[in-house]
A and B are shown apart, each in its own frame.
Chain A
């Protein structure tokens, strides 16, 4: 279909464009102009037209966790949140360690015709941290990278070999930096809040020790490493130095972590039980600054639907995770506003920057790029409630909050897949 999005404020971080204008779409791609006029016109007056959001971590809970959420509900949530491409971690049940499972997931997602799904394959069989997966086979089936999700890989020799093997083929490895032994038993950031609340803590150096080790292994192996969900100021510093050194590394931060700290645990609010834990205000500030100066490449939602039964438990027994696909845009905008950043820079962190890490053509509005577009009202209020969330995960620390940034239209490959009422 030939579509013209007219008179919106077109913000394309990749090209630097930020001006009122039109975006033309034909044959599923952005084009300079439409020969023969549009078949549909979308009036974007007063709205922002940007590349569709790219989310590097969203759990769709299929296969295996269908009681928590299904592909349908989560894909609905994704496009309602303006997310047109997402990468899903391998911690499904069974984990994504077999090409058949990856293939099935991709087919299911494709059949739903909503957001594009990029599976991240398991680095080790069953994520058990012992044997390597058939990474080449998995890559052929569609995996864009390899990861352990939140499963530990404590045998450093296995880790070293896994990185070497991935480097052989140039496959990116996405890992969260955490020393399994130091984190063992912990449920909150090891600091004054955990001390007051009597919660076992995970010290920040559990992250920096593991990150230091990972960076050494990158030096030795040449593997491309993407560090997932930074949580501490120390980790930001290490990444800054690693990038300055020229190592092939990148990293992301979860949207919650630039807004919340361990102070938000309040009276043991299990909606704040997250992995990694929310750390101190100093850490939050360093993460926010690191995302602004580009040390942290991008922001993701780390969407993790958890059924309410698993949250209505004492803090240390509750399942970690928060819903996020529908909050990624408003949380990113809030972060950008707080730091007084130009809109293009804010949007870069959820469009062109994650696109670069994923290695995909989307995330830009230049002619020829896939027509993955989001049209949103940057100032429209969004009250976060269980009722307005399409995701089956209603678990969020932001319940009851009013944020800004409401998606009006989402298009994937030139097809409108979401329109707000």
Chain B
């Protein structure tokens, strides 16, 4: 198996890619949990003026009837107005696209943004909905029985990991 890409260098790559497009109207929202870690790094390094938003999509998922309510939902905090904003939505891994669909639905309950751009560290293909990332660190294929996750070490360093899906 080819080794996983280095999350730190991917992150640096995204920062370089995003720096030209960040402006006074830009705001960033990270999706729990991996997306929040990534967003915290990007937000700090891009020095975005508006505070970072964090979002849990637990109440907007489309699999409630099968899985019930996700355990331990976090609290969504959007400390800026969404209305008319250029938003950078950040997640660690883009897979089926359902998480992003739920995130957009939730976002629109806060207001009508001017634009949403999706920023992901890794795109593992396998899309089930017409969703794509405007800014992507790497495209990588992952076997269907495995899960690709972002992890943050105690030293704050990010790394990608594979684990068996339940």
Whether A and B touch directly in their complex, counting CB atoms under 8 A apart, is answered as no
Report which B residues bind A (CB closer than 8 A): none
Report which A residues bind B (CB closer than 8 A): none
